[in-house]
Amino acid sequence: MYILNRQQRHVVNYSWMLVSLLLVACLPFLLFSVLYFKSFLLLRNFGLGDLIFSHSWHPSKGEFGFYPFIVGSIWVTLLAILISTPICLLTAINVTQYAKKRFLRIMHPVIDILAGLPSVVYGVWGLLVIVPFISRYLGPWLGIRTMGYSILAGAFVLSIMIIPFILNIIIEIFRTIPMELKEAALSLGSTKWQMVKHVLLRKALPGIIAAVGFGLARAFGETMAVLMVVGNVVKVPTSVFDPGYTLPALIANNYGEVLSIPRYDSALMFAALLLLVVSLFFNLLMHFFIARYNKY
Partner 1 sequence: MKRSLKIEETVFRVLMILSTAFILLILGVIMYSVFEKGMKAISWEMLTSIPSGGYYYGKGGGILNAITGSMALAFGATILAFVIGLPVALYINVFLHGKKKLVNFIRFILDLIWGIPSIVYGAFGFTLMVLIGLQTSLLAGIVTVTLFILPIMIRSMDEILRTVPTGLMEAAYSLGSNKSELAFKIFTRQSVSGIITAVLLSFGRAIGDAASVLFTAGYTDNLPNSLMEPVATLPLSIFFQLASPVPEVQARAYASALVLTVIILIVSLFSRGLGKRYHKTKINF
Cβ pair 246, 151 in contact under 8 A: no
Q: What are phi and psi of 66, to 5 degrees?
A: -90, 0
Minimum distance of partner 1 from residue 269's CB (angstroms): 6
Minimum distance of partner 1 from residue 179's CB (angstroms): 20
Minimum distance of partner 1 from residue 98's CB (angstroms): 7
153 or 268, CB closer to partner 1? Answer: 268
Minimum distance of partner 1 from residue 239's CB (angstroms): 25
Minimum distance of partner 1 from residue 187's CB (angstroms): 18
172 or 183, CB closer to partner 1? Answer: 172
54 or 254, CB closer to partner 1? Answer: 254
DSSP result, 110-162? HHHHHHHS-HHHHHHHIIIIIHHHIIIIIHHHHT----S-SHHHHHHHHHHHH
Helix 67-93 / helix 247-254 crossing angle, nearest 10 deg: 120
Residues 72/78/81/83 CA torsion (nearest 10 deg): -90
Minimum distance of partner 1 from residue 63's CB (angstroms): 21
| Residue 58, burial from CB neighbour count under 10 angstroms (0-12, 13-18, 19+) | exposed
Q: Can you tell me the distance from the alpha carbon of 242 to that of 153, in angstroms, rounded to the nearest whole number? A: 10
110 or 184, CB closer to partner 1? Answer: 110
239 or 291, CB closer to partner 1? Answer: 291
Helix (H, G, I), strand (E, B) or coil at 57: strand
163 or 240, CB closer to partner 1? Answer: 163
CA angle 293, 164, 27 (to 5 degrees): 65
